Amino acid sequence: MKIVFTGGGTGGHFYPIIAVAQRVNQIIDHENMLGVKLYYISNSPYDKEMLFENRLSYEEISTGKMRAHSSLRDYFYNFFDVFKIFFGVLNAILKLFSIYPDVVFGKGGYASFPTIFAARILRIPVIIHESDSVPGRVNKWAGHFAKKIAVSFVEATDYFPKKRVAWIGQPIRIEIESPAFRREALEYFKLEKDIPVILVLGGSQGAELINNTILDSLPRLLNNYQIIHQTGVKNFNMVADRVKVVLTGNQFQLRYLSLAFLNPLAMKMAAGAATIVISRAGSMLFEIASWGVPSILIPITNTNSDHQKKNAFSYARAGACSVIGEMNMTANILSSEIERITGDKVSYDAMAQNAKVFAKPDAAMKIARALMDIALSHEK
């Protein structure tokens, strides 16, 4: 049996693939299955160590991205990327013909297109998963022929054939689906036990607006809160330089901790320490939901179909978060909203409970079982 996973470009595509692969490996081990091989096909390995740990062999292809904007620069890049996509599809056809998997799992994104297209040509069964409330272009297209379609948001079911789509939630990696115990987490970060903790998640690439607003808020927030700030690798040095200026002489400067990146262990610990989470509104919101922690989401504007904005308001309608638009994101508004949520125990507890209800912890296993079922039937 052979299963191919494809997607990539961002952690929002990559990490759910890892989550599903983990459950596939659990099934393989539990059933004592032999000869099962897992592959990851994309234009970048994203995290080679994580692929290795989860028994995924990496196969590289080239691909391009079709930009929806109409500037001269976009037309220029699109022209050259057409050739990248063409050669990527040819490469994917050759790789899939060589591997000849029993099923392909597509997570969406431009990096998944060549492999999904090749699977279509070679008549290999395809399962796709959509993380956003509004599907991206690749998944919308793949939905016309995918054998099964899984979605994270119920709103996304409107874009796919009713007989083949299921609302199952977001696949979450085993190591971070449950937070650490609070006492253990506070000891890990050397934080005070009686002071609430704000966890700021800038994403793997960092979120400049969130970073800057948090830095502007530090003198006010550190009077009553501790902060774990994941800045993103590219913004870490800038944040560190500004913090030296902002917190010079501040008696509470040890209450602030900045990290470029949170590995799975650190993320689990941060989740356990967090009283409230500040984040964008991509697929990360499902991990936040699984922790049962109230949050404030700041969706990116001008993304595909404003999907982050729609994600955020879907989560807010469930009563699990508050939403601040980028245009309204100021130090005063953010600080006031943090104080409002954490200062009202009844409202806070309700948000925490609503977050847990919103999460669907069995999503990854449902996809894994569907992949195994289709792969087994294809083998016959």
11 labelled ligand-binding: yes
Phi, psi of 297 (to 5 degrees): -105, 140
Within 8 A by CB and 6+ apart from 32, the residues are none
- How far apart are the C-alpha atoms of 237 and 95, rounded to whole Å? 40
Residues in CB range of 197: below 8 A, 6 or more apart: 186, 191, 225, 226, 227, 228, 273, 274, 275, 276
Using alpha carbons, select from 187, 146, 138, 148 the residue that is nearest to residue 7.
138
- Cβ-defined contacts of 159-162 (< 8 Å, 24+): 159/134, 159/135, 160/135
340-346 long-range Cβ contacts below 8 angstroms, 24+ apart: 341/276, 341/294, 341/296, 342/196, 342/225, 342/275, 342/276
The annotation status of 12 as a binding-site residue, yes or no, is yes
CA-to-CA distance for 294 and 254, rounded, in angstroms? 24
Q: Which residues are annotated as a binding site?
A: 10-12, 173, 204, 308
Q: Which residues are annotated as a binding site for UDP-N-acetyl-alpha-D-glucosamine?
A: 10-12, 173, 204, 308
